[in-house]
């Protein structure tokens, strides 16, 4: 069965000198072709998400805010630097809809897995609030679409972007049908968004279905690997997902300019291989990666390439940037706390 790729780079959603711009994906397709993987992927045409699709995860007020700001030619959508251009409403709908197209292929059995290379990103977009460069929550829309269209009862969302997926957490915080797992740098009042602490585990019916893994700076390949193997994996196994969605941010790479985590490209490759193996064992291989952050273009491009290697079942990776030069931060105490809180 095939691996699908949906490419929606949103060239018109770009602000001068902004880190989240079209330059991130501009050279990606020629790069993938030169590396010899593009011919083995099945391309799908993106389609815009409908208002019904968006309303499953967002308030009418949020959707209308994006449409209105774009209609008047663009501007800021929050008090920080989340922006819209005149075409951002349409392009954000296309980003979300691209994920639904990939879900269709995977859930119908036409494809085994896939990766949507889309912008603008989405995991900071809450039900009613926009922030963090994100307009509509692409991965959340995909989860709700899979549930509404294919009757999926249990969706696992894993977010390995260096920033906490506060938007995704907000949307599913009271929901036992979605297990949300986020590994992220956590320094309240010092590093965006400041959420995702150990005590945030869900409320009501969703209590225990949010697993936050808050990290100190410079946790690297070994620490991430231990956390995924000994904490994330058993939590996922107990949940028994029918579909796995991954918010794939490559800004935890040690060279990324917006953070200070310690993953190398090899470490990222090992995480993606672990997640693909998890899908193979738990849900017949059904896994979709959805692009989030990543602002060092070489790390982003090779991270995406290595993810396709994993999706295609190739035991290989490329890492021209090498490992983090400083010693790793130990995660032993964090692992013990997580196991105790989540009965792992």
- Helices 297-311 and 265-282 meet at what angle, rounded to 10? 30
Q: Is 73 helix (H, G, I), strand (E, B) or coil?
A: coil
Strands 2-8 and 111-118: parallel
Judge whether 289 and 248 are in contact, CB under 8 Å. yes
CA distance 70 to 72: 5
CA distance 217 to 105: 38
Judge whether 193 and 166 are in contact, CB under 8 Å. yes
For residue 138, give every residue at least 6 positions away whose Cβ sits within 8 Å of its Cβ, in sequence order, or none.
95, 96, 98, 99, 116, 118, 121, 122, 123, 290
For residue 34, give every residue at least 6 positions away whose Cβ sits within 8 Å of its Cβ, in sequence order, or none.
none
CA distance 288 to 319: 23
Which segments of the chain does DSSP mark as H helices, in order?
A: 28-34, 51-55, 60-71, 88-107, 138-150, 166-172, 221-227, 233-239, 265-282, 297-311, 332-342
Q: Is 23 a catalytic residue?
A: no
- Residue (of 104, 97, 132, 133) closest to 118 by Cα position: 97
- Residue (of 154, 54, 41) closest to 94 by Cα position: 54
Written as six digits, the tokens of 109 are 């059995």
Residue 185: beta bridge partners? Answer: 215
Provide the terminal-to-terminal Cα distance of the chain, rounded to the nearest Å.
34
Of 13, 123, 124, 163, catalytic: 124
Q: Is 265 helix (H, G, I), strand (E, B) or coil?
A: helix
Catalytically annotated residues: 124
């Amino acid at each position: 069965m095939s691996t699908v790729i949906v490419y929606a780079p949103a060239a018109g959603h770009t602000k001068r000198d902004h880190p989240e711009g079209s330059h991130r994906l501009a050279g990606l397709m020629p790069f993938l072709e030169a590396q010899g993987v593009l011919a083995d992927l099945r391309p799908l045409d993106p389609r815009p998400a409908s208002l019904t699709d968006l309303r499953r995860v967002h308030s009418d007020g949020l959707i209308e805010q994006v449409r209105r700001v774009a209609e008047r030619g663009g501007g800021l959508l929050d008090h920080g630097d989340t922006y819209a251009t005149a075409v951002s409403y349409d392009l954000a709908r296309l980003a979300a809809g691209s994920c639904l197209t990939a879900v269709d292929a995977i859930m119908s059995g036409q494809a085994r897995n896939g990766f949507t290379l889309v912008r603008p990103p989405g995991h900071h977009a809450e039900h009613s609030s926009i922030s963090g460069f994100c307009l509509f929550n692409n991965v959340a829309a995909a989860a709700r679409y899979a549930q509404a269209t294919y009757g999926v009862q249990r969706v696992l969302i894993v977010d390995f972007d260096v920033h906490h997926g506060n938007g995704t957490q907000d949307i599913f915080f009271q929901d036992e049908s979605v297990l949300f797992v986020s590994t992220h740098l956590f320094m309240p009042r010092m590093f965006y968004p400041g959420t995702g602490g150990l005590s945030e585990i869900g409320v009501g019916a969703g209590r225990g279905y949010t697993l936050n893994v808050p990290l100190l700076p410079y946790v690297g390949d070994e620490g991430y690997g231990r956390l995924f193997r000994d904490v994330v994996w058993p939590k996922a196994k107990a949940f028994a997902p029918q579909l796995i969605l991954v918010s794939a941010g490559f800004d935890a790479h040690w060279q990324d300019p917006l953070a200070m985590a310690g993953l190398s490209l090899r470490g990222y490759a090992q995480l993606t291989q672990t997640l693909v193996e998890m899908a193979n064992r738990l849900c017949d291989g059904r896994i979709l990666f959805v692009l989030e952050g990543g602002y060092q273009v070489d790390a982003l491009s090779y991270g995406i390439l290595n993810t396709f290697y994993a999706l295609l079942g190739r035991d290989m990776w490329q890492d021209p940037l090498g490992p983090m030069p400083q010693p790793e931060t130990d995660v032993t105490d964090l692992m013990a706390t997580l196991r105790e809180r989540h009965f792992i």
